[in-house]
Amino acid sequence: MTDQPQDLSENQLRKRVEALSLRQKVRLLTGEDFWSVAAEPLAGLRRLVFSDGPAGVRGEAWDERNPSANVPSPTALAATWDESRIERLGGLLAAEARRKGVDVLLAPTINLHRTPYGGRHFECFSEDPVLTGRIGAAYVRGLQSAGVGATVKHFVANDSETERFTVDVQVAERVLRELYLAPFEAIVREARAWVVMAAYNAVNGTTMTEHPLLREVLKDEWGFDGLVVSDWYAGRSLAAASDGLLDLVMPGPSGPWGDALVAAVAAGHLPEHAVDDKVLRLLRLAGRVGALDGARPATPSWTTEQSRAELRETAAAGFVLARNEPAEAGEARLLPLSPGRLRRVAVVGPNAAVARTLGGGSATVFPPFTVSPLDGLRAALGPDVCVDHARGGRSSRRVPAARPEMLYGPNGHGTGVELCFFDTEGTLLGSETRESATFTWLGGTAGATIPIEQVAAFELRTRVRADSAGTYLIGAAGVGRITMTVGGSVRIDTHLGLTADADPVERMMRPPQETVPVPLDAGEQVGIMLRYEPPSFAGEGFTDAAILSFQLLVGADGDDDAELAEAVALAGEADVAVVVVGTTDEVESEGFDRASLSLPVRQDELVRRVRAANPRTVVAVNAGAPVLLPWADEVPAVLLTWFPGQEFGNALADVLLGISEPGGRLPVTWPQAERGLPGTTPVGGKLDYNEGLFIGYRRYERDGEEPLYRFGHGLGYTTWECHSVELSPGDGDDGAVIVTVRLHNTGTRRGREVVQVFLSRPDSAIERVPRWLAGFGSAEAEPDQQVEVRVALPRRAFEHWDAAGRRWAVEAGEFQVAVQTSSGSALLGLDTGLLRD
């Protein structure tokens, strides 16, 4: 049950602002620490806590001991095209937030898939602004109706990572309005998001924390009454404090405001009412999330079972079945598999035994457990089916962090690692035991109480146990000085660095590595001592806070040829081969863009060779964003699973065995090749969005180019016929035009069909994309059942931004309405006369 917090009246809030001195007010406008705003008893405000999102709620610590439900990443959520499901998931996230003491989630990320090279593509919903806006609004409603704040981010045009702190995006006003601002507008207006995050980048010459778009468009035009928070360290100036711009600088405690802001107000350079408005917005947010004494805190709750079931179903609902053909002529389509006919299944590929459930960067959470494809299939098929596994090569050339199950206590008992913290004098500050090999601190404390800034050196002791005989690569990753002894001998003593312009998140997600080969027998243990000395914090440049990260690495020094051969041999002996290929959080991450869309290392070769050994090959693609699939037409079945969250393997088994239908439709065009895709590298600090309105499907359709899989594509397990399509005027509130589609489930199983409605405007007097998504809806039906799907097209779908007139306008004349389902498409003409104001 949810106990809704109640908005305090505006008058009450204003009185609380008035009760504070200028200094007390200004103190609230910069974070108290990395994740929170300080309590202010005079205003009845308790400490207010923010945390990342969007694939879960990490909480204040970056630590495996503080786990969080790991929901599917946003591309997977958008692929469901299912707002009620996403709204429910928002409720689950709200419960997680409350459990972890979090008031405001720093999610959803609603930047667009301008190009699949974008490092955070997996963290954004779609290339389409309408789909992004609707799925994003559902996410926000789910969170906020349970009393937890949502932060729509990053406002605006933060669609790639290269030079992200400074890049100046050059984008035409109409393009900004119709594409990049559109999801923000939809979510602010319809879902009334409580927080918007101002991005790092500049747009057309002005950095976003100082940009007039905040005042003129977000606050004045759209009526946003919430809080504008800076992206972390994006609040860099006093200018950002001007009336109507940035409200809160994060993180703190230092920052550009503080005394300088007090002085600016005292000197009359900034009116005090500008500060009051920021504090009012902060208190309004606090009231909404239950952080003011007069407001009631929300108490949503989900049981573990409910949450696991929801995550499992949602993952399956986002899987896109891109291809499903018979393995041999005359047979039925390969999927779903019939479990009764299976005796031996090969589950191969680098992402088969290690579940890749999320991408990298601030979206990282620590799931309590993950279910790999191998585990999921083994559990579902039971003991009578032999499920074989071989990795078949790697999905990354980097040496992985040690798996926790290989780590044993340094003194011969227990598991994990012992971690000691030392200050600059070499004094031991404290120690702790960890069940991890990846360590990150973003401000905060090491152990329970040691401020991370005081730690000058870390020493890690553990014993690595080999699970099989072979040579292992053992070492460390991190920026700074690394010393490592293996079995008592010093094997590494080096300094590792990144280029001066490297992103701090790159330091966490893809730090430089150093390893040495260590031959071990099966079951043999070797003692490790790793000393890590980070560079001094003053060297960080953009922040004075400690952002520290290092890893202990242990990976088999594998022979790819032998691994490939082993996987191919297993596949050849099986009734069916499931190949799980994909990327990792070191490939798809915040902090850097992708340089190539190919599957890393030799995964394409693996797929082709497995297919040659066994025609009954299903390929599951475990990547948060498109990767090139040059063999796509050579295999009978391709299932795109995204980064599907902690229940990956269970959901995969459900879909492959036909317990669940793969419910997804593509939220992004899946390219055939890299040619023609927009790049992410700024020139002279500027990134020109010179493709204008033509991103994603809009470009392919203009150029008459066929991608591998179209936007909106996705198959199910049943078949449909579209019986009729009708247009009628809407009642204004609901939509300008209603499209009613009558569908018939002509197959043999229950299924869900998504109806996508596109508009086009032949003979337009203005530049147009060939067609654009105007609305969508879905329905479920039993075999032979007929259902009606009603899709409301809002007036905005017919409007374009008239840059000269600085307004939205509808071009008179006839639009065309195309209704697309998995069974085909229908085209109808529609005169603007049908539109009602």
Residue positions annotated with a catalytic role? 231
**Residue 230: CB minimum distance to ligand BGC, A:** 10
Query: How far is 153 from 169, CA to CA, in rounded Å?
Result: 16
Ordered DSSP codes for 727-788:
EEE--SSS-SEEEEEEEEE-SSS-EEEEEEEEEE-TT-SS---S-EEEEEEEEEE-TT-EEE
Task: Decide: 484 and 461 in contact? Cβ < 8 Å.
Answer: no
**Residue 477: CB minimum distance to ligand BGC, A:** 20
- Give the residue with the Cβ less far from ligand BGC, 198 or 695: 198
**Residue 354: CB minimum distance to ligand BGC, A:** 25
Indicate if the alpha-carbon torsion angle 696, 702, 708, 714 is positive or negative.
positive
Cα-based angle 539, 544, 548 (whole degrees, multiple of 5): 70
Among 701, 714, 34, CA closest to 362: 34
Q: Is 355 in the site for ligand BGC (CB under 6 A)?
A: no
**Residue 153: CB minimum distance to ligand BGC, A:** 6
CB atoms within 10 A of CB 579: 28
Peptide bond into 54 cis (omega under 30): yes
Binding ligand BGC (rule: CB under 6 A), the pick from 27, 153, 611, 665 is: 153
Query: How far is 767 from 631, CA to CA, in rounded Å?
Result: 37
Please return the burial class of 552, using the count of CB atoms within 10 Å of its CB with bins 0-12, 13-18 and 19+: buried
Q: Is 68 in the site for ligand BGC (CB under 6 A)?
A: no
Q: Is 155 in the site for ligand BGC (CB under 6 A)?
A: no
Query: How far is 177 from 692, CA to CA, in rounded Å?
Result: 11
**Residue 254: CB minimum distance to ligand BGC, A:** 16
Which amino acid, 476?
A
Mapped onto helix, strand or coil, the DSSP state of residue 439 is strand
The CA radius of gyration of the chain, in Å to the nearest whole number, is: 27
- Give the residue with the Cβ less far from ligand BGC, 106 or 138: 106
**Residue 218: CB minimum distance to ligand BGC, A:** 18
Phi, psi of 296 (to 5 degrees): -95, 130
- Give the residue with the Cβ less far from ligand BGC, 231 or 588: 231
Query: How far is 356 from 642, CA to CA, in rounded Å?
Result: 9
Among 760, 746, 350, 762, CA closest to 587: 350
Phi, psi of 191 (to 5 degrees): -95, -5
Count of residues interacting with ligand BGC (CB under 6 A): 6
**The pairing of beta strand 513-520 with beta strand 344-348:** unpaired
Tokens 């032999």: give the residue: 386
Tokens 């340089």: give the residue: 595
Give the distance, in angstroms, between the CA of residue 389 and the centroid of all CA atoms in the same chain: 29
**Residue 503: CB minimum distance to ligand BGC, A:** 9
Q: Is 362 in the site for ligand BGC (CB under 6 A)?
A: yes
Strand partners, 486: 489, 528
- Give the residue with the Cβ less far from ligand BGC, 139 or 758: 139
**Residue 281: CB minimum distance to ligand BGC, A:** 19
Q: Is 585 in the site for ligand BGC (CB under 6 A)?
A: no
- Give the residue with the Cβ less far from ligand BGC, 106 or 635: 106
- Give the residue with the Cβ less far from ligand BGC, 407 or 509: 509
Task: Decide: 629 and 583 in contact? Cβ < 8 Å.
Answer: no
Segment 74-113, which members bind ligand BGC (CB under 6 A)? 106
Q: Is 52 in the site for ligand BGC (CB under 6 A)?
A: yes
**Residue 120: CB minimum distance to ligand BGC, A:** 8
- Give the residue with the Cβ less far from ligand BGC, 87 or 231: 231
Query: How far is 746 from 207, CA to CA, in rounded Å?
Result: 54
- Give the residue with the Cβ less far from ligand BGC, 113 or 153: 153
- Give the residue with the Cβ less far from ligand BGC, 59 or 662: 59
209, 230, 258 from 236: Cα distances, Å = 8, 9, 12
**Residue 232: CB minimum distance to ligand BGC, A:** 4
Query: How far is 694 from 175, CA to CA, in rounded Å?
Result: 9
Binding ligand BGC (rule: CB under 6 A), the pick from 62, 125, 232, 257 is: 232
Cα torsion at 409, 415, 417, 418 (round to 10°)? -60
* Footprint on this chain of ligand BGC (rule: CB under 6 A): 52, 106, 153, 231-232, 362
